[in-house]
Amino acid sequence: MATVTYDHVTKRFDTVVAVNDFNLEIPDKEFLVLVGPSGCGKSTALRLLAGLEEITEGDIYIGDRLVNHVPAKDRDIAMVFQSYALYPHMSVYDNMAFGLTLRKVPKEEIDRRVREAAQILGIEDLLKRKPRQLSGGQRQRVALGRAMVRDPAAFLLDEPLSNLDAKLRVQTRAELSKLHQRLGTTFIYVTHDQVEAMTMATRIAVMKDGLLQQVGAPQDLYDRPENVFVAGFIGSPAMNFFQARVKGQREEMHLDIDSFQVPVPASWLDDLLPYGGKEVIFGMRPENICDPECQPCSTEAAPVTAMVDVTEVMGSEIFLHLVADGKAFMARVDPRCRARPGQEIRVEFDMARMHVFDPETEEAIGSREKR
């Protein structure tokens, strides 16, 4: 077991910078998720660690060992890809044992490791089957088992659930979390799905255009995003953003969004005073917009009148697509809400949960404690 350290790592493909001055330390036994949109560099960062790509600049350490020029097979890591990459002519047992056989591990030890991994993954009854006889979820477990038997210092997982259907993804997420707890090994997991990141990670590292945007615990990134990108990427549905102007004196300061106005809470006055008369980006998560007729908001609620454009009934909640003077936004409300398309309703913004960003830097305004 070991820590993993990226020290000012850069990767260029000709003129394209895929990973840019990447600095990250991953403690032993952590479940770290690298998340971001397609093309942000997250898979490249993982492949650099695995030894499948050469580093342009910087260093990567596994424990205290510099591995820049160590061959992939000697890095003591195991990788699970989106493609299961199972040998179709081999049984499940032989697929899981193949890597150990190449390393000339004694047969008794191979058998012990394979059967132990199969028991953990619940695939003991599948060891004699061929991959074509397995479901997608079962094939993914075999791929995990093949990695597990190596007893690596770290598991690297590159979008391993992308080929599974929605129900199976939810089930496998839980299985991976339990597997991490049971093995006590470092997991580094790449995904573009922020729901996977939020539900499994000890910490999340958000990337955009090869740059690391923010690293922290899932709830910390949700509650205290450091910029507009992280705020919009973490959370489902995504945060609503409004172009607003800070108006009024300290005693009656408000945000003017043209289509409506909302008062600035007292706790935000000092932070927004320097922005008096200037534009800011005002953020409000859909779950912090409520229908007061069936769900009370906070004591710092601000009423907003809007037209219902679309309703999405989810069973346990309703997503309201709203429009206020041409400005579209979304609310996540109680399932008892009776709003219908074409109807004008009043919703309330929980101003105690608002976010504000500088329009030029797109960095969050206000102290981390407030956000």
Kindly state whether residues 251 and 322 are assigned to the same domain: yes
* In-domain check, residue 110: yes
Of 176 and 108, which is predicted with more confidence?
A: 108
CB contact set of 83 (below 8 Å; sequence gap of 6+): 163
Question: CB atoms < 10 A from the CB of 214, how many?
Answer: 21
The alpha helices in the chain, defined as continuous H runs, are 42-50, 92-102, 107-121, 136-148, 166-183, 194-200, 218-223, 228-233, 269-272
* Nearest CA-CA partner of 319 in 259, 241, 222, 240: 240
β-pair type (301-313, 318-324): antiparallel
Residue-wise pLDDT tens digits, 33-65: 999 999 999 999 999 999 999 999 999 999 999
User: CA–CA distance from 202 to each of 28, 81, 197 (Å)?
Assistant: 12, 21, 9
d(CA 365, CA 362): 9
d(CA 294, CA 275): 36
Cα 150 off chain centre by: 27
d(CA 280, CA 271): 12
Kindly state whether residues 223 and 81 are assigned to the same domain: yes
With 70 as the cut, is the pLDDT of residue 367 above it? no
Kindly state whether residues 185 and 319 are assigned to the same domain: no
Kindly state whether residues 214 and 108 are assigned to the same domain: yes
Number of domains in the chain: 2
* In-domain check, residue 94: yes
CATH code, domain with 202: 3.40.50.300
* In-domain check, residue 297: yes
Lowest mean pLDDT among 121-125, 262-266, 328-332: 121-125
CB contact set of 355 (below 8 Å; sequence gap of 6+): 225, 231, 239, 282, 283, 284, 364, 371
Kindly state whether residues 259 and 222 are assigned to the same domain: no
* In-domain check, residue 38: yes
* In-domain check, residue 370: no
* Residue 36 in tokens: 């971001």
* Nearest CA-CA partner of 272 in 298, 299, 254: 254
Instruction: Give pTM, 2 decimals.
Output: 0.88
Q: What is the pLDDT of residue 147?
A: 84
d(CA 352, CA 289): 11
Q: What is the pLDDT of residue 368?
A: 56
Axis-axis angle for helices 92-102, 107-121 (nearest 10)? 140
* In-domain check, residue 10: yes
Q: Report the range out of 15-19, 97-101, 160-164 with the highest average pLDDT.
A: 15-19
CATH code, domain with 328: 2.40.50.140
Domain boundary among 186, 209, 233: 233
Q: What is the pLDDT of residue 294?
A: 83
For residue 3, count CB atoms less than 10 angstroms from its CB and return exposed for 0-12, middle for 13-18, buried for 19 or more: middle
Q: What is the pLDDT of residue 73?
A: 85
Taking residues 125-147, report their average pLDDT: 88
Kindly state whether residues 224 and 116 are assigned to the same domain: yes
Q: What is the pLDDT of residue 1?
A: 61
Lowest mean pLDDT among 16-25, 93-102, 208-217: 93-102
Domain boundary among 233, 264, 298: 233
Please report which confidence band the pLDDT of residue 146 belongs to, taking 50, 70 and 90 as the band edges.
confident
User: DSSP letter at 265?
Assistant: P
Kindly state whether residues 84 and 153 are assigned to the same domain: yes
* In-domain check, residue 104: yes
Domain boundary among 185, 211, 233: 233
Q: What is the pLDDT of residue 369?
A: 57
Kindly state whether residues 109 and 220 are assigned to the same domain: yes
Q: Which residues pair with 349 in a beta bridge?
A: 289, 302
Kindly state whether residues 201 and 285 are assigned to the same domain: no
Axis-axis angle for helices 107-121, 136-148 (nearest 10)? 140
Provide the domain limits for residue 349. 240-357
* In-domain check, residue 185: yes
Kindly state whether residues 142 and 196 are assigned to the same domain: yes
Please report which confidence band the pLDDT of residue 82 belongs to, taking 50, 70 and 90 as the band edges.
confident
Kindly state whether residues 184 and 45 are assigned to the same domain: yes
Taking residues 123-150, report their average pLDDT: 87
With 90 as the cut, is the pLDDT of residue 6 above it? yes
Kindly state whether residues 192 and 272 are assigned to the same domain: no
Lowest mean pLDDT among 71-85, 103-117, 244-258, 330-344: 71-85
d(CA 45, CA 48): 5
